[in-house]
Structure 1
Amino acid sequence: MSKTLSTKELAKKIINDEQTLILDVRNTDEFDDWKIEGGNVEVINEPYFNLLDSVDPVSGKLQKDQEVIVVCAKGGSSEMIADMLEEDGFTDVYNLEGGMKAWSEHLEPVKIGDLSDGGSIYQFIRLGKGCLSYFIESNGEAAVVDANRMTDVYEKFAEEKGVQIKYAIDTHLHADHISGGRELAERTGGVYYLPEKDAAEVTFEYAALQEGSDIHVGNTSINVQPLYSPGHTLGSTSLIVDNQYLLTGDILFVKSIGRPDLAGKAEDWVGDLRDTLYSRYKELSDDLIVLPAHYSFAEELGKGGSVSARLGDLYQRNAGLKVEDENEFRKMVTENLPPQPNAYEDIRKTNMGKITPETEEQKEMEIGPNRCAVEG
């Protein structure tokens, strides 16, 4: 029997920038749509059915003594291929437990930094999906921003830190993944915040996330200041945390900018997007550290696996912030768009409370990469 590797162990390898060789045995179309990525990750794709008789199609591409991690959709086919590789004389083969389905759900916490008065901010990296969520804690209390649906991870983290989750905040109505914000608030007795302009069709109670109504974590000086920043959605609202960090939601990323079309409103919202990026954010301190809700490229992962950048630096190097001509900008964000996220309409309905899919269906809805960015 081949050895197994957990998603947590794989995440640590990628975050630590270790040399990682993956043999992905899914069909080529599935592989091309979505794969494991990282700065030092090499991936070879050879469909499972090509290896049923023999591992010869890949044996020439691999060294017998190098570490090989075999991956499939759910962990079954890859286990068989890993066993066959061992029988063929490969000495360091692992099967990724749960396959890409489990990889899609793994959340890895990384500390971003300390806050004034003893608090801390953490980024939860969903490496298999490119989603980023945040855990802000101070003086025994915590706020979770843009939570994924795997709420138990945040609850366990809060327990380890000895803090109570008081607030769950969504910067906007998500379209690429199912939000865990409302469920997290219900489970912890906290308050769920959502921008009012994104909540026109929601079927549940929420607290309005709005500029001018700051949120205080831990009854100390840790301040979470909402900043209305429409463009990805009509209600998109950024958060300035402790006057150090700018949580941009899906408005601004490290290497790209947010797309305005996931509610079918690209032409209507492109002006809002430009105003937010070229006016509202411009008025903020260049020294704010941008913490987005997603990343699209493996090279956006920085030291220790975090995804962040100084706002002033992004105005120098992010192509989406350097389009001076308004018509050219409009064309870029309405025509140069990747495919829309898988099942995004049903994901939006789920996040509105209009439908409540079973857990397995929710997992299937989220399979695949995030596609919230304009491709520059």
Structure 2
Amino acid sequence: MSMKAMNSKEVANKVVNKEELFILDVRNEGDFEDWKIEGENFAYLNTPYFDLLDGVEGIMDKLPKEKDILVVCAKEGSSVMVAEMLSEAGLDVSYLEGGMKAWSEHMEPVKVGELSGGGELYQFVRLGKGCLSYMVISNGEAAIIDATRMTDIFTSFAEEAGVTIKHVFDTHLHADHISGGRKIAQATGATYWLPPKDASEVTYEYQALEDGNEVKIGDTIITIHALYSPGHTIGSTSFVVDEKYLMSGDILFIDSIGRPDLAGLAEDWVGDLRDTLYKRYRELSDDLVVLPAHFMIIDELNDDGSVAEKLGTLFTYNHGLNIEDEAEFRSMVTENLPPQPNAYQEIRETNMGKLTPDEEKQREMEIGPNRCAVR
């Protein structure tokens, strides 16, 4: 039978379209349990590659005959070998081109809305890691928020749209992924903005992003209004864009709230987190559409592949916004923290400019899921 490569774009389409897919993941059990390709109608079998060196006969009865089968490993090589064996055994199979490393880096641009005067807002969904980046476009100019290190995705998108990148923002100093913001700014001449309270140890020049800053994109039509919102980090800053959208960074997610401990200061920052969520955000319009910097589970994706929900809806359904007792909130936050992100301290120092790992090292540092939320 046949064997072919399936790339990350094709897998992403299956995720967004809720198609069926059977994944044979040949990584070690711990790696699979920690992080896998998620899809609403995906089924899985995890059998480590080393258990298949003598042949695939032992798993043939566990594989479906009527579904697409995708073999997945870390970098591609092992999945090709297993896929070849399955093909020789009579199955039509695919292997994931580039493995989980490639899946971790793939980003899907999704248009989330029209802005005043003809502007547009795009969300870049990093399905394999749950990262969300944004591009605001108006009258030939663009701003990028929370860019990943795969900077070509953003510069190419801007070039195809015929717009000039003028501003690049990070809502906070990221600890789960390496920011591409500074690199984009250097390549394009754009202004790079970072909250100064998160930048006390950075080694580079930046524009201080502070509460009340207003940055205009295009011919003064689109306004990005900065709102100081500490809690995930001491400098975390949200944006209200065009009076329609709330870019909440890692403070508020669709199904959870941000964790306050990635600088080792959970007890200190949990009060800031509560003030931001229960006071600052309460003063905003319920009609604002929340656009976070991450998502945690595949259920948070809308039918069009975007991650977005009205603030008023989240105040109704998001458990983290509905704990009236402050002591209960504090214990819920500080006692329900997931493991720290992979290499998070190295990632923070890279984003400070203290470390300059090569590209392969950066990929290794980011392997695994984001862990920015309270469970």
* Range class of TM-score, shorter chain: over 0.9
Structure 2 unaligned runs (5+)?
none
Q: How does 1:102-113 map to 2 (within 5 A)?
A: 102-113=102-113
Question: How many residues get paired?
Answer: 374
Shift of 1:49: 1.3
- Give the 5 Å matches for 1:206-225: 206-225=206-225
1:139 and 1:220 in contact (8 A); partners too: no
Tell me, what secondary structure is at the counterpart of 1:257? coil
The 5 A counterparts of 1:317-328 are 317-328=317-328
CA positional deviation for 1:122: 0.7
CA distance in 2, matches of 1:305, 1:313: 19
Q: Distance in 2 between the 1:300 and 1:63 partners? A: 28
Instruction: Quote the Cα distance in structure 1 between the aligned partners of 2:176 and 2:158.
Output: 25
How big is the shift at 1:67?
Answer: 1.1
The answer to whether the 8 A contact 1:65-1:90 is kept is no
Give 3-state SS (helix, strand or coil) of 2:234's partner.
coil
**Structure 1 residue 65 displacement after superposition:** 4.3
Which aligned pairs between 1:8-157 and structure 2 lie closer than 5 A? 8-91=9-92, 93-157=93-157
Answer yes or no: is the 8 Å Cα contact 2:259–2:337 preserved in 1.
Answer: yes
Which position in structure 2 is the counterpart of 1:340?
340
Residue number in structure 2 paired with 1:362: 362
1:256 corresponding residue in structure 2? 256
| 1:33 CA displacement | 0.8
The residue type equivalent to 2:317 in the other structure is R
Which deviates the most, 353-362 or 35-44?
Answer: 35-44
Aligned residue number for residue 372 of structure 1: 372
Once the two structures are superposed, residues 34-91 of structure 1 have per-residue CA deviations (whole angstroms, 9 ceiling, x without a partner) of 1111222222211111112221232112223431011000000000111111111112
TM-score (norm 2): 0.98
Q: In structure 1, what is the Cα distance between the partners aligned to 2:238 and 2:225?
A: 8
Q: Which aligned segments of 4 or more residues in structure 1 are displaced greater than 4 angstroms?
A: none
Structure 2 partner of 1:279: 279
| Structure 2 residue matching 1:70: 3-state secondary structure | strand
Determine what percentage of the aligned residue pairs are the same residue. Answer: 64
Q: Distance in 1 between matches of 2:216 and 2:291?
A: 19
Give 3-state SS (helix, strand or coil) of 2:314's partner: helix
Query: TM-score, with normalisation over the residues of structure 1?
Result: 0.98
Q: Which amino acid aligns with 2:276?
A: T
Tell me by how many angstroms 1:358 deviates: 1.0
Q: Tell me if structure 2 keeps the 8 A contact 1:278–1:321.
A: yes
Q: Distance in 2 between matches of 1:168 and 1:41?
A: 36
Aligned CA-pair RMSD: 0.9
CA deviation digits over 1:280-313, x for unaligned, max 9?
0000000000000001111101111111111000
Separation in 2, partners of 1:310, 1:99 = 35
1:371 shift after superposition: 0.3
2:310 aligned with 1:307: no
SS in structure 1 at match of 2:362: helix
- Partners of 2:165 and 2:28 in 1: how far apart? 42
Counterpart residue identity of residue 220, structure 2: T
SS in 2 for 1:374: coil
Unaligned 5+ runs, structure 1: none
In structure 2, distance between residues paired with 1:57 and 1:307? 40
Helix, strand or coil: the match of 1:332?
helix
What is the identity, as a one-letter code, of the residue corresponding to 2:234? L
- State the distance in 2 between where 1:44 and 1:209 align: 47
1:166 match: secondary structure: strand
- State the distance in 1 between where 2:19 and 2:5 align: 18
For 1:60, what is the secondary structure of its paired residue? helix
Instruction: Give the secondary structure class of the aligned counterpart of 2:62.
Output: coil
For 2:147 and 2:35, locate their aligned partners in 1 and report how far apart those are by CA, in whole Å: 22
1:169-226: CA deviation from partner (whole Å, max 9, x where unpaired): 0000000000000001111110100011111110000001112220111123111000
Give the corresponding residue for 2:352: 352
